[in-house]
Amino acid sequence: MCDLTAIRQKFVVDKKGRKTGVVIPLKRYRRLIEDLYDLSAIAERRAERPISFQELKRRFKWDALI
Protein backbone atom coordinates (compact mmCIF):
# COMPACT_ATOMS: atom_id res chain seq x y z
CA MET A 1 0.00 0.00 0.00
CA CYS A 2 1.04 3.53 -0.64
CA ASP A 3 2.27 5.51 2.38
CA LEU A 4 0.22 8.72 2.37
CA THR A 5 2.64 10.53 4.67
CA ALA A 6 5.48 10.16 2.16
CA ILE A 7 3.64 11.64 -0.83
CA ARG A 8 5.14 14.82 -2.23
CA GLN A 9 2.19 17.05 -2.96
CA LYS A 10 1.43 20.50 -4.24
CA PHE A 11 -1.85 22.22 -3.59
CA VAL A 12 -3.90 24.22 -6.06
CA VAL A 13 -5.45 27.25 -4.36
CA ASP A 14 -8.14 29.72 -5.37
CA LYS A 15 -7.85 33.51 -5.27
CA LYS A 16 -8.63 33.49 -1.54
CA GLY A 17 -5.88 30.97 -0.79
CA ARG A 18 -8.26 28.07 -0.12
CA LYS A 19 -7.06 24.65 -1.22
CA THR A 20 -9.13 23.44 -4.16
CA GLY A 21 -7.01 20.61 -5.52
CA VAL A 22 -3.83 18.67 -5.16
CA VAL A 23 -1.05 17.69 -7.56
CA ILE A 24 0.83 14.45 -6.90
CA PRO A 25 3.27 12.47 -9.04
CA LEU A 26 1.48 10.23 -11.57
CA LYS A 27 3.21 7.10 -10.27
CA ARG A 28 1.85 7.78 -6.76
CA TYR A 29 -1.61 8.48 -8.15
CA ARG A 30 -1.65 5.13 -9.95
CA ARG A 31 -0.59 3.35 -6.75
CA LEU A 32 -3.35 5.09 -4.80
CA ILE A 33 -5.95 4.06 -7.39
CA GLU A 34 -4.69 0.46 -7.29
CA ASP A 35 -4.86 0.46 -3.48
CA LEU A 36 -8.37 1.91 -3.60
CA TYR A 37 -9.46 -0.83 -6.01
CA ASP A 38 -7.93 -3.53 -3.79
CA LEU A 39 -9.64 -2.15 -0.69
CA SER A 40 -13.01 -1.99 -2.45
CA ALA A 41 -12.65 -5.64 -3.51
CA ILE A 42 -11.86 -6.59 0.11
CA ALA A 43 -14.89 -4.63 1.36
CA GLU A 44 -17.19 -6.34 -1.16
CA ARG A 45 -16.01 -9.79 -0.09
CA ARG A 46 -16.05 -9.16 3.66
CA ALA A 47 -19.48 -10.82 4.03
CA GLU A 48 -18.44 -13.96 2.13
CA ARG A 49 -17.96 -17.20 4.01
CA PRO A 50 -14.25 -18.00 4.33
CA ILE A 51 -12.97 -21.31 2.95
CA SER A 52 -10.03 -23.43 3.99
CA PHE A 53 -6.86 -23.74 1.94
CA GLN A 54 -7.74 -27.37 1.28
CA GLU A 55 -11.12 -26.33 -0.11
CA LEU A 56 -9.44 -23.72 -2.31
CA LYS A 57 -7.06 -26.34 -3.74
CA ARG A 58 -10.01 -28.68 -4.34
CA ARG A 59 -11.87 -25.96 -6.24
CA PHE A 60 -8.81 -25.12 -8.34
CA LYS A 61 -8.38 -28.77 -9.26
CA TRP A 62 -12.07 -28.98 -10.13
CA ASP A 63 -11.69 -25.95 -12.42
CA ALA A 64 -8.48 -27.48 -13.89
CA LEU A 65 -6.37 -24.56 -12.68
CA ILE A 66 -3.83 -26.84 -11.00
Q: Are 63 and 55 in contact (CB under 8 A)?
A: no
Range of the domain at 58: 4-62
Domains of the chain: total: 1
Residue 13 has phi, psi (to 5 degrees) of: -120, 155
* pLDDT score recorded for residue 6: 65
Please, which residues bridge with residue 23 across strands?
Answer: 10
Q: Are 12 and 23 in contact (CB under 8 A)?
A: yes
The pLDDT profile of the chain, 66 residues, written as one tens digit per residue, is 556 666 678 999 999 999 999 999 999 999 999 999 999 999 999 999 999 999 988 888 876 755
